[in-house]
Amino acid sequence: MTPSKIPNLLLLGVLWRALGTVSGMVAWYPASVNDTSLAAAKRMVVNDIRDLTCALKATKTPWCEVFCFEGGRCALYNVTVAGYHDDSPVAPATPCYTRHSCVFNGVGYEHDEDFVGDCTPMKCWEHTAISTAPRGKSPSCAAPFTPAPNAGCVYYHNATVTWCDARLLCKDLGADLSVPADVTAFTAWAASFGQDIWIGIRSRTWLDGRPVTEWQSTQPNGAVDDECGMASPLFVDGVDDKICGYLTGFVCELKF
């Protein structure tokens, strides 16, 4: 059964507003959830109760992310799915309700909730996670950015921050961490600052989605998921990897 065909037993939007503090103002959204996912999840089943009682029990159970109700059987699960998610075209699925309007990187969020995802300011809106980072405000390379030969329109900052904080600071300027077209020229330019500099690499992937091939000869040498990329004055023949929580400077790049 597709989410659009799930019986709206609870008239959820109106009902939760009426319940007020009793429900904690939790909105539940229809979703059709893969039976295999439900079978593997933590669950609790209560029989012979009404649909409203089931919804209230789900609301008051902190670990419950999804509840399914049919014929007096109330099942609570800790499965993370977004509202109007539909597994039925690809696998046997059960009509349920989820407390998450949208899901990003495996984490659920409420409608209109602000959060940070992929080190980018985001908002959950109409079941979709959208970026709220400002876009570049100028069609030209204006201060604090400056054109650098073979490096683009860039802004170097010597603040010592983590990779994620560096990216957030770039996003606040309508830019992002640098993804240079000419890595050799960029690392030569960056070496003049005399410190390690965060650039747009995480998990051995450039922010534009390309796998990194421009490593210095002894790199990468860290864990894939915990490492980010930098230009280092010690390695001008390529880029270096470093744990993302390391504190150092960074270069933002403004794209047009």
User: For the chain, what percent of residues have pLDDT higher than 70?
Assistant: 88
Average pLDDT, integer, range 196-212: 94
Q: How far apart are CA 226 and CA 245, in angstroms?
A: 9
Q: What is the dihedral of CA 46, 51, 54, 58, to 10 degrees?
A: 140
Residue 144: is the preceding peptide bond cis (ω within 30°)?
yes
Cβ-based neighbour number of residue 73 at 10 Å: 13
Q: How far apart are CA 205 and CA 42, in angstroms?
A: 34
Band (137; pLDDT cuts 50, 70, 90): low
pLDDT attached to residue 176: 94
Q: What is the dihedral of CA 149, 154, 159, 161, to 10 degrees?
A: -110
3-state secondary structure string across 183-252: HHHHHHHHHHHCCCEEEEEECCEECCCCECCCECCCCCCCCCCCEEEEEECCEEEEEEEEECCCCEEEEE
Sequence letter at residue 190:
A
Which of helix, strand or coil describes residue 5? helix
Taking only the tens place, the pLDDT of each residue in 9-57 is: 444 443 443 333 334 567 899 999 999 999 999 999 999 999 999 999 9
pLDDT attached to residue 152: 86
Average pLDDT, integer, range 82-108: 93
Q: How far apart are CA 214 and CA 229, in angstroms?
A: 11
Average confidence score pLDDT of the chain: 85
Structural domains for the chain = 3-100 (no CATH), 146-253 (3.10.100.10)
